[in-house]
Homo-oligomer: A and B are copies of this chain.
């Protein structure tokens, strides 16, 4: 079966999202390199508009749709970063947005989404189905669904993070990105492999939300009950479209513990002086705690976001 996206889709996305997404900086740290034993290039999507890479995918999908088809507005369900991204993209093209969020989503993400002009509908993560709620809103309002990861335009949009990174650094031995539903990882793997087939691509997942790890081992999509502080990676199962890409292009999924995630958040904050959210710290932890093959001399790390509540941070 043909994969859902190709490298040219990522290149087209890079052009399309230019008015909405920021070209984020690539940072390095001699201190981090010494600890990790490899040269590390951090693609700082925590400094992206909306505080995460999600604007890349949401903007790519929203901007690819004819304005007249968006009259009923857009709907998204998301624990946070995709919500804010969808709201930003909707506001940019001048249509209303409705976001379906779990009632225990981080306060900072909920407030930031509301500040972008979105209407927020909450649900109970343990008893309600967010898909069912989103579907009923779609029916009522004739709105367009902006899915969080399992759509070719979303996948291609997220891949622009790796395109920018590799444009700036040149060829790297490896690339690693966090994996929740797999939108970011599938997009990044697609462009990284096209730019240089020798670049080894890894996904990083919390051990407490290891659905993609298990799926890779099994060769088919496996669902789990996620339990992790990395709230952006709590999707229970890889996507129908994302998984085949990941399976084809990624070497393997690296798992990290909750303690390793916390340590990575702290290390990056104190040494690089930037704030990353637990989900964004997952690939950082994988590199910091030597989970990649030792012969890798250079690695690009997609630091996916920086939206975290101060109280949660203090608790670490």
Q: Which residues of A contact B (CB under 8 A)?
A: 25, 27, 31, 46-47, 51, 108, 115, 266, 269-270, 272-276, 306, 308, 310, 313-314, 316
Contact = CB atoms under 8 A, between A and B. Distances in A.
A230 to B, nearest CB: 17
A208 to B, nearest CB: 23
A273 B274 contact: yes
Rank and list the top 3 A-B pairs by shortest CB-CB distance, nearest first: A273-B306, A314-B314, A273-B275
A316 B314 CA distance: 8
Give the number of times this chain occurs in the complex, counting copies: 2
Contact of A273 (B46, B266, B314): B46
A265 to B, nearest CB: 10
Contacts of A306: 273
A266 B27 CA distance: 22
Contacts of A308: 270
A27 B25 CA distance: 11
B270 A108 contact: yes
Contacts of A310: 266, 269-270
18 contacts: A31-B115, A47-B272, A47-B273, A47-B274, A108-B270, A266-B310, A269-B275, A269-B310, A270-B275, A270-B308, A273-B274, A273-B275, A273-B306, A274-B274, A274-B275, A275-B275, A313-B313, A314-B316
A118 to B, nearest CB: 16
Nearest to A265: B310
A314 B270 CA distance: 12
A32 to B, nearest CB: 13
Given A47-B273, A270-B308, A273-B276, 5 more contacts: A25-B25, A47-B272, A108-B270, A313-B313, A313-B314
A273 B51 contact: yes
Q: Which residue, of A27, A272, A273, has the highest number of chain B Cβ atoms within 10 A?
A: A273
Nearest to A51: B273
A274 B276 CA distance: 9
Contacts of A276: 273
Contacts of A46: 273
Nearest to A49: B30
A273 B47 CA distance: 7
